[in-house]
Structure 1
Amino acid sequence: MSVTQKTATGDGEASVVAKLSTLDRFLAVWILLAMAAGLGLGRLVPGLNDVLAKVEIGGISLPIALGLLIMMYPVLAKVRYDRLDTVTGDRKLMLSSLVVNWLIGPAVMFALAWLFLPDHAEYRTGLIIVGLARCIAMVIIWNDLACGDREAAAVLVALNSVFQVLAFGLLGWFYLDLLPGRLGLGEGESLDISPWKIAANVLVFLGIPLVAGFLTRHLGERELGRERYENGFLPKIGPGALYGLLFTIVVLFALQGKTITSRPLDVARIALPLLAYFAIMWFGTFLLGKAIGLPYDRTATLAFTAAGNNFELAIAVAIATFGVTSGQALAGVVGPLIEVPVLVALVYVSLALRRRFAGSGNASPGNA
């Protein structure tokens, strides 16, 4: 059984990792190779990052948008959209997600940024921007690899996208301008980002693949029937999710390879609070999900949606406000450099915890 083609078999006590396909089993290797390839291309091919950076519309990178679309489409085509009401009716899940993502997450990143980088305002600001940009894209695939609840992931990323449009600018003002001044930490900063630009980011990185996945599921079931659609069509497009992920990683790191490799000590300083952030958010939220009685699949979904961040939005905001060569932009770039391997590792941690999870054999209604 491939994780990218998982079905609800109810064998939570069996070793999931032992049943992975070759592609899935060596996922961490492929991702590290993709990161290395991207960094190498960005460093060794003259002008490549400039060429890739110019292929954009409205500040949105078309190569990255293409990669994320390819990555997210197969997973969103697997979602049972007729079961979304079982997720929206789960008040513990919905309320926990809102609190963790929009109250706790930004506050944790703010505290860590000041704790680790009290003497470097640019990097500190960049990290806070990363903390404000809640994940709406790549978390879809981390959740699927960890056998999380697909329907819950679709609902929570949609919820995050709405709050991102409404709250990003307000939280940016609070954590970068108002709060530092009130705490006597120095002069505040403001972000040059409009709600419309955030809405465009949400539309491209979530709206398009979500609509494509919904239409594929609706039309596919109508033409093929549910059994043929799920057992015949979905396994054929499933590997595309990982191919899209690897393509996105190569492009992303090729775009920023020169910046990252030319400032290794600065990258290390930025990496420390990021590592602490991902660990605190994922493990803390996983424990929260277990404590409030969520089943494994929804607990995993809650944890990954809390730990992930919208790196594309964070980088775009940092560059638009402070410039492409700024420390804020570098902090945004280092975000996915650390997030990708850490969340891949947490996929394996999650799968290991699944076997010990109380009631793990009882999937939530969304995955039944």
Structure 2
Amino acid sequence: MPHRSSASTASATSTPAPSPDPVMRQMSFLDRWLPAWIVAAMLLGLGLGRVVPGLDETLEAVTIGDVSLPIAIGLLVMMYPVLAKVRYDETRRITADRRLMATSIVLNWLIGPALMFILAWAFLPDLPEYRTGLIIVGLARCIAMVLVWNDLACGDREAAAVLVAVNSVFQVLAFGVLGWFYLQVLPGWLGLPTTDASFSFWAIVGSVLVFLGIPLLAGFLTRVLGERAKGRTWYEETFLPKLGPWALYGLLFTIVLLFALQGEAITTNPLDVARIAVPLLAYFVLMFFGSLLASRAAGMGYAQATTVAFTAAGNNFELAIAVAIGTYGVQSGQALAGVVGPLIEVPVLVALVYASLALRRRLFPAETTENTPSAA
């Protein structure tokens, strides 16, 4: 699971690890132990939320788009290095790939919400608040952490940036309509209890503009100005290796704060958390492997198939939490379901990064190590 712009990589003279993929032997110390760092960050956050009085009030004293300012800073730090790596002059190639675009749109906006609706009703028929929270999570397509997971799995960075942008546009246009459909219309057609579906259009727009727009603009300007000043070779071989690790620092910082905010709710309701976790786990696994196989069947190579799979499996839990809190309140079951989302998503998608790399040779045998994306 290489972070291709990490400050250091494994020495070429070191003893190779017992891995079928030589790329995995080039991981930095930070990348190699990433799952351990994430678990430690989650535990630290939960502990802080339980033992530090008034921490949640302090963190939420200032917000950006209904998200705590410190968490917002962590998200921006997390996304900026990944977006600074994108070769924006290649995005036209991605948008012209109708197969890639159509597959991603269908998986994200038809299959994903429908699958979460089915799983939520199948596993939580007697818990309407948690069920509604899960459906909201399913509607919030990923526009943030997917860039980190995709980069670690050697996916197509340019494709990821374009698909994230497409998800953002659809998020603004379709979130409210899909929420109304899945929480009111479809349950009514099926004879199931309906749920209020009042969402703030401007809250969604603000979330997309802040958490994607700012780092996207910063990443684009950094590459353009950096290459113009010193050339692509310097930018990709000297500058990016120094900038790259900050994506993971931002990720770990965000996880600590996020779990600190909801530490009490999570630790005092373990059985509820477990019930919410089961359909989430099923969702992430089914969406990832289903999308990976669907992309392979559509004729995509490893890099693009992996990108489609991660963008389809991940969810924008920042937006889901903001919508749940804004609509139902910070202490609501809907908000708790949103918070449990990253509790399950983060370690599962980290595991799927390893799974993706391990399956590369089996699912894409025609591709060699030289076919993987550039280490830039």
1:266-314 CA distance string (max 9 Å, x none): 0000000000000110000000111111010111100000000010111
Unaligned runs of 5+ in 2: 7-18
What is the letter of the counterpart of residue 200 of structure 1?
Answer: G
Q: Is the 8 A contact 1:76 1:214 kept in 2?
A: yes
In the TM superposition, what are the counterparts of 1:58-69 in structure 2 within 5 Å?
58-69=65-76
Q: Distance in 2 between matches of 1:4 and 1:64?
A: 25
1:367 CA drift (Å): 8.4
Question: What is the SS of the residue equivalent to 1:16?
Answer: helix
Q: Is the 8 A contact 2:2 2:154 kept in 1?
A: no
Structure 1 residue aligned with 2:160, among 146, 153, 161? Answer: 153
1:187-232 CA distance string (max 9 Å, x none): x223332222111000111010000000000000000111111111
Provide the aligned length of Structure 1 versus Structure 2.
362
Structure 2 residue aligned with 1:122, among 108, 119, 129? Answer: 129
Q: Is the 8 A contact 1:150 1:367 kept in 2?
A: no
- Per the alignment, residue 285 of structure 1 pairs with 291
Q: Distance in 2 between matches of 1:365 and 1:34?
A: 30
- Per the alignment, residue 12 of structure 2 pairs with none
1:366/1:102 Cα in 2 relative to 1: closer, same or farther (>3 Å)? Answer: farther
Structure 2 residue aligned with 1:17, among 24, 35, 45? Answer: 24
- Per the alignment, residue 42 of structure 1 pairs with 49
Structure 1 residue aligned with 2:305, among 277, 295, 299? Answer: 299
Question: What is the SS of the residue equivalent to 1:293?
Answer: coil
- Per the alignment, residue 80 of structure 1 pairs with 87
Q: Is the 8 A contact 2:130 2:334 kept in 1?
A: yes
TM-score (norm 1): 0.95
Q: Is the 8 A contact 2:46 2:260 kept in 1?
A: yes
Q: Is the 8 A contact 1:152 1:366 kept in 2?
A: no
- Per the alignment, residue 9 of structure 1 pairs with none
Question: What is the SS of the residue equivalent to 2:111?
Answer: helix
What is the letter of the counterpart of residue 99 of structure 1?
Answer: V
Q: Distance in 2 between matches of 1:178 and 1:367?
A: 47
Aligned-residue identity in percent? 69
Q: Is the 8 A contact 1:172 1:190 kept in 2?
A: no
- Per the alignment, residue 342 of structure 2 pairs with 336
Q: Distance in 2 between matches of 1:247 and 1:206?
A: 18
Q: Distance in 2 between matches of 1:279 and 1:272?
A: 11
Q: Aligned-pair RMSD on alpha carbons? A: 1.7
Q: Is structure 2 residue 226 aligned with structure 1 residue 220? A: yes
TM-score (norm 2): 0.93
Q: Distance in 1 between matches of 2:373 and 2:153?
A: 17
What is the letter of the counterpart of residue 182 of structure 1?
Answer: W
1:347/1:334 Cα in 2 relative to 1: closer, same or farther (>3 Å)? Answer: same
- Per the alignment, residue 145 of structure 2 pairs with 138
Q: Is structure 2 residue 255 aligned with structure 1 residue 249? A: yes
Question: What is the SS of the residue equivalent to 2:262?
Answer: helix
